[in-house]
Amino acid sequence: MPIATPETYTEMIDRAKAGKFAYPAINVTSSQTVTAALQGFAEAGSDGILQVSVGGGEYASGSTIKDRVTGTVALARYATEVAKNYGVTVALHTDHCVKENLDSWVRPLLALEAEEVAAGRQPTFQSHMFDGSTVPLEENLTIAEELLELSQRARTILEIEIGVVGGEEDGHEAAINEKLYTTAEDGLATVRALGTGEKGRYLTALTFGNVHGVYKPGSVRLRPELLGEIQEAVGREVGKERPFDLVFHGGSGSSAEEIALAVDNGVVKMNVDTDTQYAFTRPVADHMLKKYDGVLKVDGEVGNKKAYDPRAWGKAAEAGMAARVVEACQQLRSAGQKMA
């Protein structure tokens, strides 16, 4: 199946970690952005991850409705159907659910998936993220333990965040300061609470200076070598090499060298959102500015239907975003690595 099963998703993660590559996790908010991401994965010959934020789910349900569960499920069902034609395997994921949104978003989704599993079906999503960076570490891990147990029933993988990603993401904002760097002690506390797989598999976002949003290279000090130091310190205690399956958040503006070092240190998933938003919108702006007299009925004229047909600029938007997805696959070394 083009949408990964729980077993296939596990295989995807294992292949990435062993082969030292990572999957781009592309945020989607509409059928067009789903199509663009799939097109990019197919062109790169890469498997990948489609992910929905709480705001993306609300938008997909209808901008006047804002039902986050309905919109999230709708995007998943659309992706499940259209992905059949692209020749790649994709996993579906929900992104950055903070504590106050758990009861209205991720817990209902996990309950739906537990029902699907109990009925002998595959879960709609393959993983969900709990963003515990807004609460103290002890509370973060307590909630993560509960969600890991629920994830087991739903046959999904839990993603957690240990540390703080700066900048703004879906209404949550964090300062850019020393809290952006996870410590080895934080990593050890994580494995003591959640184990190293025996309680259920989980993905871990350890922060190393990451910031959401737009910034120029050099504006933020990333320390991807910190990931290796934490992997080594925790690995010594648990007797396992590179014990964490890592996630890279806030990667916009990162250099190729920083991305490569992060992947070498165990990153198997990198979130890509800001850059693909721009790549989608830039061709639309180009179309509107260059063809304004066709898009608009200037001076009482009738305009040009071929110019203002949403499919005209929509195709350009999808192609622009797809090209940025291909670039992400190449940077993360997943290009050409798709499963047979």
Amino acid at 177: N
Sign of the C-alpha dihedral, residues 87, 88, 91, 92? negative
Q: Catalytic residue at 95?
A: yes
Question: How many degrees, rounded to 5, is the angle at CA 22 between CA 17 and CA 25?
Answer: 135
Amino acid at 259: I
Instruction: Pick the catalytic residue from 95, 131, 245, 275.
Output: 95
Distance CA 180, CA 257 (A): 20
Q: In sequence order, what DSSP letters do the residues of 262-331 get, joined into one string?
A: HHHTTEEEEEE-HHHHHHHHHHHHHHHHHTHHHHS-GGG----HHHHSHHHHHHHHHHHHHHHHHHHHHH
Query: DSSP 3-state assignment of 50?
Result: strand
Cβ atoms of 51 and 125 closer than 8 Å: no
- The residue among 282, 295, 208, 217 whose CA lies nearest residue 252 is 217
Sign of the C-alpha dihedral, residues 300, 304, 308, 313? negative
Sign of the C-alpha dihedral, residues 299, 304, 309, 314? negative
CA distances from 41 to 84, 124, 174, 320 (A): 13, 20, 31, 13
Distance CA 22, CA 24 (A): 7
Query: DSSP 3-state assignment of 83?
Result: helix
Find tokens 């509370």 and name the residue. 139
**Catalytic sites, residue numbers:** 95
